[in-house]
Structure formats: C-alpha cells, structure tokens
C-alpha cells in the first residue's frame, strides 16, 4: 500500500517537473517543484533555491487546483528574499505560505491582497522589525472604498527583531487564532503591543517564549476570550504572571519552562480552573513547591514538573483540596532533585502514568508504601523505572525491587495509627503530662520572682542617674 502510494507520488512529481521545465520557468530565477496530489492538494516547493525576489507568476499547474476545498502549500524556506512584494493570485480555499529562514527586512503594503484565502503564513527566522508590521501589509481586496479582511489563522513571527507591535496590526486578520512571537527581543509588553494583542480576540494559541519579558500587564489578555494555550518559557518571570487569571476560564495549556522562579505556591496558578496540562520544567532556581500550589487547577489532567535541578521539596499539601475530585492522570516528576515524597501527596493509585526517574530517591518506608501499597509502581512507563539513591545498601536498585521487611504493614489501620486519639492515652501518660505541666508552672513562677527582684534593684541603683540627650539644633551651648 505504502510503496504503491509513494511510487504514484514520485510519478506525479516527475510529470510535474517535466511539465514545469517545458513551461519556461514561471517562477523567476529557479525551478520550483510542483507536487499535485489531486485537485485538492498542491505543494510548490521553492525551498533552498537561492531565490531573492517573490515570483510574479506561479507555475501553470496551480490552476488545476479546485477553488472549493483546494489546499495549496507554497514554501520559500531558506532562500534570500529580503522584501515580500505582492504575491500573485492563488486558487484554492486554504493557502499556506512559508518564508521561513530568508532575509526579510520589508513587507510591502497589500502583499497578500490577491490571496484572501491565506490561512497560514510563516515569516519566522527573518529580520523583521516591529515597524515593518503595519496593518496595511495584511489588507485584503479593496472593494467599495474599504479594504476587506484576509482569512489568516496562523501567523508565525518567531525569531525576528520585533520589539513592539503596531496597535492596528491585526485589523484585517479577524480570524487569527495562532500567533507565534517567540524568540524576539520584546523585553517589555508596551501599551501599543498590549492593544495589538488584546485586539486579536479570536486568539487560541499565543507563543511568547524567549522574548525577555518579566511581566505581563493586567489588561494584555483582556478580551482574549478564546485563549487556550500559552507558552511563557525562557523569560524572566520570578512569579507566574497574575494576568493569566484573566483567561483562566479558557486556558487549557500552560508552558512555563526556564524562568527564574524560586518557588511555586498557592498564588501561582490562581484562577486557572480549566487548565488541562501544565508544564513547569528547566527552572534552574526552582527549589520548592509549597502547599496548595495546584489547588486552583480543578481540571488538570497532565502535570510535567521535570528537569528542575534544584527542586528538592514538594509539600505534602501541594494538591490540597483536590483529592476528593481527582482529575490528574499523568504526573511527571523526572529529573528533579527530589529524595522523598509524602505518602499522602496524591491518591497515587488513581494515576495512569507516573514519571519519577532521574532523582535521588531515598528508599524508605514512605516510598515503599507509595510504590507497593498505593500501586504507584505499576504506573511507570516501560524502561522508565526509577532507581534508589539511598540508603547505601539500596543504591542503584530499582525502587520497584525494594522490599522493606521492617516497615509497618501497610494495612488500612496504618494511617490512623499515626494520628492522635484520646483513646490511645493511658493513665501513665496522663500522670506524666500533669507532672510536666506542674514543673513548667513552677519554673515560670520562679523566673517571675527573680525578674521582679532584679527590677527593684535596677530602679533603685541605676535609674537615679538620668541620661541627657543633646539636641544638636536647639542646644545653644553648641553654637
């Protein structure tokens, strides 16, 4: 099946090549590969051909594509285009164009007006500055004195030289759902950039990774009623930005890797009630996950808390209040600096996948309880069984291999034994307690008497010589 299809594709490709070479290269400078799968799918591969200008005519095969349901992908990946001039018309219903890895420093007004059905545009890895990104570049056809919009849904502006966005940049792209701004020197989300972002009201995916920001203004996400996914990795945040709570009712995926946070606490994820997947990794300074950190995340299914080399401590209350309605299915704690976990951290048996490799596990009774009694040992992926680091005699053995004979039997009464109960008290305990309290009271009385005696002595002998303070401004003798 596969080979047959591949063969057919190669045949089509060959035919296309022959046809193109016969047709007096329409695409200027070089020959692109036309790959027409059927009337609904056409790919024009213009990658790596030292192209310097946008062609003003497409190969003829492009007219074979159906207007309804036609998908066209044109890629100019890795050429030397410096200016995006107006592109010729392209039939089809969903057009994708990539200018990834060129040398673009300018985009002309109306560059895409002939391609109203442009849904995907990749401008990443160029030299585009914020000034180049004016609303005019995305203007659609001009009818009855107004410019119409274009269908653009995905815009990749990653790896450019953008500091700021024009407030009207998204005026003609009302359907924009995915915006990638990663790896730009934004540094500060200034007022106009915030206005631009909040005007993209249909945004579902926003990538702000590696843009050197340390805060997000509260109103940046106001109006983004559909934002589902955000990446804030590789920035300078010392806290998870509070402004996220504005999109808390829609946000499902948060990636927060590689930021200088020191701890996660009950303020970190406030309001993110619909988050499904959270990733907090590669945070070199993260040391501690405190109580109630994950409590607001009422719908969390997947937690990645990995590659935090200084993460040493997770509070046994980190998931406080979540156990009654447990939603987590996958928890990854790989490659941190953890050595112990509390038996009641989470209802381990309710997980589907658990990752614990790459830590310094102390194989004690608590861990044995989690692994055996609470069945966490059955949740590891094949080949990802964690090792014990300590005590010495278990060092290097799988934590699923340890059997600790001296541990309390993990029956259901174990938990209650640890708790305090009046019925556990025996008369001997009570007598000792009363004696202890009496001793403390006596000691207190003795100390009180001693202090009073000292006070009396002090008042009599030392306070008789009052200290005089000199005011530098009012003391006439000083002048």
Ligand X SMILES: *[C@@H]1O[C@H](CO)[C@@H](O)[C@H](O)[C@H]1NC(C)=O
Per CB under 6 A, contacts with ligand X among 19-38 are 33
Report, in Å, the least distance between residue 172 CB and ligand X.
8
Stretch that binds ligand X, among 41-49, 229-237, 239-247, 273-281 (CB under 6 A): 41-49
Stretch that binds ligand X, among 44-52, 53-61, 292-300, 413-421 (CB under 6 A): 44-52
- Beta-carbon contacts of 213 under 8 Å, excluding residues fewer than 6 positions away, are 186, 187, 188, 189, 235, 236, 237
Answer yes or no whether residue 67 interacts with ligand X by CB under 6 A: no
Binding mask 418-457 toward ligand X (x if CB under 6 A, else -) reads ----------------------------------------
Which is closer to ligand X, CB of 52 or CB of 267?
A: 52
Q: What does 301-351 look like in DSSP terms, one character per residue?
A: -EEE----TT--EE-TTTTTT-GGG----EEE-TTS------TTSS-GGG-
Report, in Å, the least distance between residue 237 CB and ligand X.
21
Which is closer to ligand X, CB of 349 or CB of 401?
A: 401
Answer yes or no whether residue 299 interacts with ligand X by CB under 6 A: no
Which is closer to ligand X, CB of 16 or CB of 151?
A: 151
Report, in Å, the least distance between residue 88 CB and ligand X.
19
Q: Give dist(CA 304, CA 310) in Å, integer.
A: 16
Which is closer to ligand X, CB of 44 or CB of 206?
A: 44
Report, in Å, the least distance between residue 313 CB and ligand X.
10
Residue from 310, 327, 349, 424 in contact with ligand X (CB under 6 A): 310
Binding mask 377-416 toward ligand X (x if CB under 6 A, else -) reads --------------------xx--x---------------
Nearest alpha-carbon partner for 147 in 137, 162, 157: 137
The size of the interface with ligand X (CB under 6 A), counted in residues, is 18
Answer yes or no whether residue 93 interacts with ligand X by CB under 6 A: no
**Cβ(189)–Cβ(220) below 8 Å:** yes
Stretch that binds ligand X, among 20-28, 45-53, 260-268, 455-463 (CB under 6 A): 45-53
Q: What are the φ and ψ backbone dihedral angles of 461, each rounded to 5 degrees?
A: -100, -35
Q: Give dist(CA 56, CA 111) in Å, integer.
A: 12
Report, in Å, the least distance between residue 345 CB and ligand X.
19
Residue with token string 């005019």: 136
Which is closer to ligand X, CB of 149 or CB of 243?
A: 149
Report, in Å, the least distance between residue 33 CB and ligand X.
6
Binding mask 339-368 toward ligand X (x if CB under 6 A, else -) reads ------------------------------
Per CB under 6 A, contacts with ligand X among 161-190 are 174-175
Nearest alpha-carbon partner for 153 in 197, 199, 202, 114: 202
* Count of H-run helices and E-run strands, the chain: 5, 23
SS3 annotation, 380-425: CCCCCCCEEEECHHHCCCECCCCCCCCCCCCCCCHHHHHCCCHHHC
Answer yes or no whether residue 309 interacts with ligand X by CB under 6 A: yes
Answer yes or no whether residue 337 interacts with ligand X by CB under 6 A: yes
Report, in Å, the least distance between residue 104 CB and ligand X.
13
Which is closer to ligand X, CB of 318 or CB of 338?
A: 338
Give the long-range contacts of residues 259-264, CB within 8 A, separation 24 or more.
Answer: 259/232, 259/233, 259/234, 259/235, 259/283, 260/236, 260/284, 260/285, 261/237, 261/285, 261/286, 262/238, 262/286, 262/287, 262/288, 263/287, 263/288, 263/289, 263/290, 264/240, 264/288, 264/289, 264/290, 264/293
Report, in Å, the least distance between residue 217 CB and ligand X.
28
The end-to-end CA distance of the chain, in Å, is 107
- Beta-carbon contacts of 243 under 8 Å, excluding residues fewer than 6 positions away, are 216, 217, 218, 219, 220, 221
Which is closer to ligand X, CB of 279 or CB of 335?
A: 335
Residue from 25, 29, 45, 93 in contact with ligand X (CB under 6 A): 45
Residue with token string 């047959």: 4
Q: Which residues of 247-269 are buried (b: 16+ CB within 10 A; e: fewer)?
A: bbebbbebbbbbbebebbbbebb
Per CB under 6 A, contacts with ligand X among 123-162 are 149-151
Report, in Å, the least distance between residue 189 CB and ligand X.
27
Q: Give dist(CA 473, CA 138) in Å, integer.
A: 72
Report, in Å, the least distance between residue 68 CB and ligand X.
14
Answer yes or no whether residue 47 interacts with ligand X by CB under 6 A: yes
Which residue ranges make up the site for ligand X (CB under 6 A)?
A: 33, 45, 47-48, 78, 101, 149-151, 174-175, 309-310, 312, 337, 397-398, 401
């Amino acid at each position: 099946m596969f080979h047959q299809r591949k063969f057919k594709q190669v045949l089509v490709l060959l035919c296309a090549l022959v046809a193109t070479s016969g047709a007096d290269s329409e695409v200027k400078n070089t020959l692109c590969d036309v790959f027409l799968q059927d009337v609904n799918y056409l790919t024009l591969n213009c990658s790596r051909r030292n192209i310097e200008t946008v062609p003003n005519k497409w190969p003829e095969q492009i007219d074979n594509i159906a207007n309804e349901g036609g998908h066209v992908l044109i890629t100019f990946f890795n050429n030397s285009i410096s200016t995006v001039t107006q592109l010729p018309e392209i039939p089809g219903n969903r057009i994708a164009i990539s200018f990834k890895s060129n040398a673009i420093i300018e985009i002309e007004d109306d560059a895409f007006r002939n391609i109203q059905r442009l849904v995907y545009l990749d401008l990443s890895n160029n030299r585009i500055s914020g000034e180049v990104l004016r609303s005019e570049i995305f203007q659609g056809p001009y009818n009855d004195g107004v410019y119409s919009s274009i269908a653009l849904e995905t815009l990749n502006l990653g790896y450019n030289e953008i500091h700021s966005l024009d407030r009207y940049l998204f005026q003609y792209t009302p359907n924009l759902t995915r915006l990638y701004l990663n790896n730009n020197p934004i540094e500060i989300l200034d007022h106009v950039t915030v206005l631009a972002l909040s005007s993209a009201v249909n945004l579902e995916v926003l990538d702000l990774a590696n843009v050197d920001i340390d805060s997000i203004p509260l109103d940046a996400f106001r109006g983004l009623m559909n934002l589902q996914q955000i990446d804030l990795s590789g920035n300078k945040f010392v806290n998870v930005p509070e402004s996220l709570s504005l999109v808390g009712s829609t946000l499902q995926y948060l990636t927060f890797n590689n930021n200088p946070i020191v701890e996660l606490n009950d303020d970190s994820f406030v309001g993110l009630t619909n988050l499904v997947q959270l990733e907090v990794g590669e945070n070199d300074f993260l040391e501690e996950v405190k109580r109630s950190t994950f409590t607001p995340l009422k719908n969390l299914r997947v937690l990645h808390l990995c590659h935090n080399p200084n993460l040493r401590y997770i509070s046994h209350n980190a998931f406080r209040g979540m156990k009654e309605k447990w939603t987590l299915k996958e928890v990854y704690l790989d490659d941190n600096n953890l050595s112990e976990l509390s038996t009641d951290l989470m209802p381990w048996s309710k997980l589907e996948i658990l990752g614990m490799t790459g830590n310094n596990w102390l194989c004690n009774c608590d861990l044995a309880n989690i692994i055996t009694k609470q069945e966490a040992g059955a949740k590891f992926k094949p080949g990802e069984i964690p090792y014990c680091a300590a005590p010495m005699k278990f060092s290097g053995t799988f934590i699923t291999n340890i059997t600790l004979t001296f541990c309390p039997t993990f029956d259901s009464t174990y938990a209650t034994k640890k708790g305090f109960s009046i019925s556990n008290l025996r008369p001997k305990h009570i007598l000792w307690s009363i004696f202890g309290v009496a001793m403390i009271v006596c000691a207190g009385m003795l100390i009180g008497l001693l202090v009073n005696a000292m006070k009396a002595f002090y008042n009599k002998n030392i306070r008789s010589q009052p200290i005089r303070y000199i005011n530098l401004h009012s003391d006439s003798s000083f002048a």
